[in-house]
A and B are shown apart, each in its own frame.
Chain A
Amino acid sequence: MITDWLRAPDVWVLTPLVAGLVCALALTLTRRWLPPERPLWLICRALVICAALSAVYGVATARMPKSGGAAVLVCFSSHGSLSTLHMVSRLVGCGLILGTLIPCLIEGRSLAQMGWRWRRAGWYAVGGLAAGLLLATAAPGPGPPPDLAEALSLRPERGWALVPMLPVSFVAACAAFGLLAGWSEENVFRGHLMPALASAGLSPRWANVLQAVVFAFYHVPAHAVAGTPADYAGPAWALVVAWLIVFGLWGLLFGFLRQRTGSIVPGFALHTSSNAMRYVFRHGPLAVMVARLHG
């Protein structure tokens, strides 16, 4: 009986855990021959972690229905416990195993070395959250999927009924993205890869540029799997270039914040809030509310 679900399609929700385990095992077994104390091997091993994170991100994007997440945050969950397990699996696989256990316990980097310094952390967090809010307000995205708005069957004058859901959805999105994007990606790219590049003798500027390049490529599989936006008619390569530029610039900004302040907290706060805000604006109750109020 226990092997029944191994043949079932739902087993993909365990991908982050499997990726975390395989990565941890591979890096542990190769520790003697490819020691992270040598800068070159340290960089290669960091790239393996990035590749594992990227693969998990791609699989999760391919397997999750496009509006599923929106449904969860708006008013109902169509995928129930499986969706919850998927979220927990990503939090543990990406946030805990790939983003914390591997850099700290296997690669030997402490949280303080990764940039988790608490001096002025409160100010950095507030600044990052405010900047994320401003960015999301400036570019709120295309709004909710039309069918989802239809699903709610709200009349325009009843759009305000969704206001009480805003803080809940924002806190939920911050918690989820804080661990998924903020914690795991910041730890791996700015906390581990960037110092690894610096230890190979690269100047801080070049270390930042290279980690931003890797950060940009990290996003490509997931976005390629998600497909082109419905209103996009140009060639696919132009879209990939656009993704690389956008995510590369984000990576540069996060790396710059890390180097400038010596702390990973500002990048973490900005990363979390920009992701969470974009989600709330594009898929959450605010998107539906705005869409309904403006017809």
Chain B
Amino acid sequence: MSITSFSFLCFFAVVLFGYYCIPKKAQWGYLLAVGGIYFMTSTEVADSGGWYVIGYPMAAVLAVYAAARLMDRTTEQRKRRAALVCAVIFCIGLLCTLKFFRLPLLAPMGISFYTLTLLGYLFDVYYEIGGVQKNYGKLLLFACYFPTMISGPVVRYQEMEPQLFGGHKLDFRQVTFGMQRMLWGFFKKLVIAERMAVIANEIFDNYENYAGFPIWIGAIAFTFQLYADFAGCMDIVLGISECFGIVLPENFNAPFLAKNISEYWRRWHITLGVWLREYLFYPLLRTGFFMRLPKKLRDRLGKKRAKQLTTFLAMFILWFTIGYWHGGTWNYIIGSGLLHWFYIVSGELMEPLFCKWRAFFHIRTESRGFVLFQRLRTFFLVVLGLMFFRNARVPDALAMIGRGFSAFNPQIFVDGTLFSFGLDWIECTILVVSMLLFAWVNVQQQKGWLRERLAGKHIVLRWIVLYALLFYVILLGQYGPGYSASEFIYQNFKV
């Protein structure tokens, strides 16, 4: 069952009621059992009858559990390392076999998320940062806590342990906040993403029929669709979890306010970025090869360049991995991997030149106009990347970008063409108004949680706002009786 389906909402209501009726000590076991039911009724499993897939996460958890226990018991570095390597190979091997090698095997829901989560735990034990979980069932719950199984966020053991196993008393305020957050997620998903999808699908699927501005409208629509879809899913997931009294880490922080690509990645899919930095990028830079490389290059290139080149090389591996993770094909490797590597590297190499230009044109970097320029530029670069991401084949993406530059047709904005992409003028108006609301909230959130401020307002105003949003979603959400919003985009990428 999809988390935007009516059946899921009913399931959630029953589960939540039960959660606060049972003793606190039993809550973690209850969540584990609920996770099992949710897993078994997930679309992948229910449609194919492949119930055996529940064995995959259980096996991965068992491997990590055993390796961590072994590491905990011995101080012999050789043994600890061997345990780490075996468990990592097992988990990554399982992930690659099920997910990327295109074998006719059924991959379980959330496999990339729970694999990352589990490996993070294992590395923490290996580095002696975090404690060891001696109860297999508890480790299983940590890896397969059902809200995070859908599309993340990737969580850390130290942050989750006290929350998952500590027991929670009903906190009315927290449950209300959680439900508000879910509602906001439904707004993003059902009102915005589903509408943006209509435009994006039309233009991406028939790009040969379009040139100039319509191409860019399609690309921007897909960018907003992906963001509203993924961030909406995160709001629902974090909201669900908050109702259980378990606070998950944020995955988004207004990514389109970023002034450069590096900042964009600190605001988009945050938990994945942190994971890759700490468990892939840092260890990579600490390997013998990367430690020696700057010293070798220093004589030929000078200290600064040698350091820079080493970093760029390590970043190449990092970005390749990010791209590969999204689907294992070139459109992802380029669109959400190597192209971003190229942006960051070229940005850094050209910085001295940009600096001269800014001085020449007397541009103040903190001026509003310049910040706006930086934001629009970053947004455009992201849109370009997503054109690869959305097209299944790289030549299609290149052809589509080419068509985007092949005509200059601003008349489409006034001659009614805008309403020929699948949404009529009423739908377009709803979309624009919703986007404005979404953008306003994003900007406001930079100053702190809006819901906290809303909670401080008069009860009448509070309920008016909430009911208005609720009816907005119910009336304008793209769904109908028996209809389940299309699955979340990121659910398929599993990252």
User: Do chains A and B stick together as partners?
Assistant: no
A-contacting residues of B (Cβ < 8 Å)?
A: none
